[in-house]
Structure 1
Amino acid sequence: MDFSLLFNMQRELDAYIESRHGLEGENLLRRKLLAFHVELAELANETRCFKFWSEKEPSEDKVILEEYVDGIHFMLSIGLELNLDNEIMNYPRGEKQFGKNLVPFFEEVMNAVTRLQYDGGRMEYLNLCLAYLNLGCALGFSSEQIMEAYMKKNSVNYDRQNDGY
């Protein structure tokens, strides 16, 4: 995965949003962390991994990937807010997980966000990235799928800004 490209694209989108909403120079870290939490919850909802009371199947992979990429946007944006956009990460390899087997991956991401909220350092950010990338791997997504979906969603995000989202 080309994180330099992703960070540059996110930097441009963030600057565009901040300019349109008069937020230049404002520290947005707390709001970005909350937004990441919300996106993570939306992702969990689409996987239905925690819904032991339901027999309904998870959403289609396309929908789950789209929700996952929303989290990638905020993961990158948080790195930019912390000036940690020069970190090189590798996309992990592993097997796709299903149902309740996904729960520990979500828990690890939630714990990493909490640690980052309280400690806010480089290692906590890298742990968040690793946990979120591991979740993507467990969801069965390749780095190529994530890159392609990010590009599409990045374009949608610009369109939304231009349409008064």
Structure 2
Amino acid sequence: MELKKFLEMQKKLDAVIVEKHYGKIEQKEFLNERLLGLHVEVSELANATRCFKYWSTKEPESKERILDEYADVMHLWLSVGQTLGFNAKEIEEAYLKKHKENYRRQEQGY
């Protein structure tokens, strides 16, 4: 996955969306909306997988539908990162640091 490429693509899409609906407004003004959107998309992903519906016997939705929701989550995740001013290198470094910490936690019975 080329995170830098995806961040650039999302930045362009966000600019088109904001300009179309709001005109020339700073992207940072949309942090709350994007965070809420991310929460909603994660919830839609959970609905598609049915992972929390312990009371239901229905199967998850199709893999295609679940991937579509997953892609929506990625769009909003990238958008939030852009809004906060993160670049690909910073995100990758933070991920690797947290990944290492999570392994350490597992080893220590976290």
Short-chain TM bin: 0.7 to 0.9
> How far apart, in 2, do the equivalents of 1:20 and 1:35 lie?
18
> What is the alpha-carbon root mean square deviation over aligned residues?
2.1
- Count of equivalent residues: 94
Q: Structure 2: which amino acid aligns with 1:80?
A: Q
Query: Separation in 1 of the partners of 2:91 and 2:21?
Result: 30
**Aligned match of 2:20:** 20
TM-score, length-normalised on structure 1?
A: 0.53
**Following the alignment from structure 1 to structure 2, what is the Cα–Cα distance between the partners of residues 85 and 69?**
20
Larger C-alpha radius of gyration, 1 or 2? 2
Q: Any gaps of 5 or more consecutive residues in structure 2?
A: 100-110
- Counterparts of 1:67 and 1:79, CA distance in 2: 18
Instruction: Quote how far apart the aligned CAs of 1:22 are.
Output: 1.9
Query: Can you give the 5+ residue segments of structure 1 that lack an aligned partner in the other structure?
Result: 91-122, 131-165
TM-score, structure 2 length as denominator? 0.77
The percent identity for this pair of structures is 43
Separation in 2, partners of 1:79, 1:44? 22
User: Which consecutive aligned stretches of 4+ in structure 1 deviate over 4 angstroms post-superposition?
Assistant: none
| Highest RCO, 1 vs 2 (Cα 8 Å, sep ≥ 6) | 2
Q: Is the 8 A contact 1:76 1:85 kept in 2?
A: no
Equivalent-residue separation in structure 1 for 2:30 and 2:59 (angstroms)? 36
In the aligned structure 2, how far is the partner of 1:35 from the partner of 1:19? 18
| Structure 1 residue 88, shift from structure 2 partner | 4.8
How big is the shift at 1:89?
A: 2.9
